[in-house]
Structure 1
Amino acid sequence: MKYLNQIELARHHWAELREASGIADNIPSAILELLKSSRPDEAENAYWKIENHVVVQGQLFESAEYVVPVLLTSLLQKQQKWVKISILELLFQIVSGEPHEEEISKGNRDLGERCREKAREGLWILYQEMMFGERYAAKDVLEVIEKDPHRLSSILMAFDS
């Protein structure tokens, strides 16, 4: 059986997308490595194969936009705690980012907003994670992407009571 994240990974031509080191053809295998990690150190190694490539010190590359839905759909599967935290940290880094100057020169001025919009498509996945999973890591992402801060505060208050 294929999972949604595998289908999402297969939908894109990663060799045609950019990342910090050039083409993004290694990103799918890095994501799968992260998802299959059986120990925290394995997850950390895989994390850095993504984080220093699609987003580097807050600067986004083209492939980041395509990574967001893969990460979101990965939250729908049962994952080890360290995997979920890595997924949410990657999402946070991406949605907090802005385009690298190379992306701006290629006409991708709105890359940061497009990444945030992709993340908003999974808003309720993140709310579910905040309520029943890795609360603080999911909340960090929601604080960046949620356009209705009243909704976020209402859900937090209801959950805390």
Structure 2
Amino acid sequence: MTEVNAGSAGLAERLIEATDWGSYRKLEGVSAADVGQALMSLLKSDRERIDTAEDSLEDKIVPQADLYSAAEPAVGVLAASLVDPRPRWVRIAVLELMYLILSGAPASDEVERGNGALLERCAARVRESLWLIVREALDDEACYEAALDVLDIVDPGGTANELARSVR
């Protein structure tokens, strides 16, 4: 797969720009205004900077497996990023971050704010991109394991998961 042209905005980039990140939280009471920029950095990362970009996002959207409200639009951006061509290292990081989010749980203050279904909403957003995740597993051996990790959470024993596993 090739990289999105620097002059054109892909679906994920447009979604980042359309999201009011400041209305979400990344920690108890801390605005997630910088999460959109961190997502943009991840999507545009070169091979040498991808680990730093991935770690930065992990710290912002799922620190120590605690989900804050910013995880929901962030996982939507990650899913949307699979629509457009991306370098392999970015696609793997996207799948790994999806898995981390789906392996987390709402932070206690999110639950207190009535946001206890945050994980379920994140999983629903990932399910919307289920066939894109299967495509990653089928098209690129390097993405196979990361895609299966996500599928095991959102489609355990389902058709998409079985299809992805049937080719290897």
TM-score normalised over the length of structure 1: 0.91
Alignment of 1:80-99 (within 5 A): 80-99=87-106
Tell me the CA shift for residue 28 of structure 1.
1.1
The percent of aligned pairs where both chains have the same amino acid is 31
**1:64 partnered with 2:71:** yes
- Matches of 1:110 and 1:6 in 2, distance apart? 26
Matched with 1:129 is: 136
- What's the secondary structure of 1:19's corresponding residue? strand
Matched with 2:162 is: 154
Which residue among 26, 37, 43 is the counterpart of 2:34? 26
Tell me the CA shift for residue 150 of structure 1.
4.0
Give the direction of change, closer, same or farther, for the CA distance of 1:76–1:152 in structure 2 (3 Å limit). closer
**Gapped regions of structure 1 (runs ≥ 5):** none
Q: Where does structure 1 differ by over 3 angstroms across 4 or more consecutive aligned residues?
A: none
* Counterpart code for 1:112: L
Q: 1:17·1:63 contact (CA, 8 Å) conserved in 2? A: yes
Give the direction of change, closer, same or farther, for the CA distance of 1:50–1:157 in structure 2 (3 Å limit). closer
Aligned residues: 158
**Over residues 36-67 of structure 1, what are the superposed CA-to-partner deviations in whole Å (9 max), with x where a residue is unaligned?**
11223x11111122101111122100000001
Give the direction of change, closer, same or farther, for the CA distance of 1:38–1:157 in structure 2 (3 Å limit). closer
- Matches of 2:101 and 2:53 in 1, distance apart? 16
Which residue among 137, 142, 146 is the counterpart of 2:151? 142
- Matches of 1:139 and 1:8 in 2, distance apart? 25
**1:7 partnered with 2:14:** yes
**1:79 partnered with 2:89:** no
Q: 1:14·1:27 contact (CA, 8 Å) conserved in 2? A: yes
Tell me the CA shift for residue 82 of structure 1.
1.8
* Counterpart code for 1:29: Q
- What's the secondary structure of 1:79's corresponding residue? coil
- Matches of 1:12 and 1:123 in 2, distance apart? 22
Give the direction of change, closer, same or farther, for the CA distance of 1:157–1:103 in structure 2 (3 Å limit). closer
